Amino acid sequence: MALRYVIVQQPSSAAQLFLLYHGINDNPDSMAQIGSWFAKAFPQALVVSVGAPYAGSMPQGRQWFADIPPHDRSEQQGVDAIMPEFVGSVRHWQQESGVRAEATALVGFSQGGIMVLEGIKAQPDLAGRAIVFSGRYATLPLRASTRNTIHLIHGDYDEQIPLQRAEEAKQRLMSLGGDVTLDVVEDLPHAINDRSMELALNHLRYTVPRRYFDEALSGARPGDDDVVMMM
């Protein structure tokens, strides 16, 4: 079991790190095409597409865990089983590039989006940004950290992962004091289109993470953690 990496862009000295995680029955080569948008917008970023370790049911397709119905307890078990490799992929490229977590963005689509949300849920210090296209949690979180700014982007015609799942994620994170946004793309099924990418890039360019405001108001040092738990 091994992850495969496709480097989309590798500057001589990276200021930012983008790691992309594909959906079920997709592969890192295909997701690298999405990575090219981030590479063009952020020329000083190291951009890497990460391939899942398990074979899917389609030729050349890969998956992060078995395709299990939502709310099945075994799905969370499948996510937890692969989580060390997922976290390891992030730590590996942070070490290789010298880019800290605060300047790391995790980008996931579908099952890859589940892994991104669950990865940050498991380790709040993993990355400063998350862009999740058509994703959801395996299990809604019980805590949220303002260390992460989470951008959910979802089509209103998504039948594979209904919009309701993204709305539930947003509501839960907001109730826990997390830093989250949700953009709904009209007439979009389970896919990424130009409008989705425009929203993602605008978030990265113009949205100021809430933690910066919190640190300014509290006098905390940058990077101090602020975790809120559900009681």
CB-count burial class (<10 Å; 0-12, 13-18, 19+) for 144: buried
The two tokens of residue 67 are 């395709």
Q: Is 97 a catalytic site residue?
A: no
Catalytic-role residue among 125, 190, 214, 226: 190
The two tokens of residue 149 are 């700014």
**What phi-psi label fits residue 220: left (phi over 0), alpha (psi between -120 and 50 degrees) or beta?**
beta
Q: Is 89 a catalytic site residue?
A: no
Cα distance from N-terminal residue to C-terminal residue, the chain: 38
Q: Is 158 a catalytic site residue?
A: yes
**What is the secondary structure of 53-118 as a DSSP string?**
SEE-SSTT-EESS----TT-HHHHHHHHHHHHHHHHHHHHHHHHHT--GGGEEEEEETHHHHHHHH
Catalytic-role residue among 30, 49, 89, 110: 110
Q: For residues 43 and 18, is the Cβ–Cβ distance under 8 A?
A: no
Catalytic-role residue among 30, 97, 134, 158: 158
Which residues are catalytic, by number?
Answer: 110, 158, 190
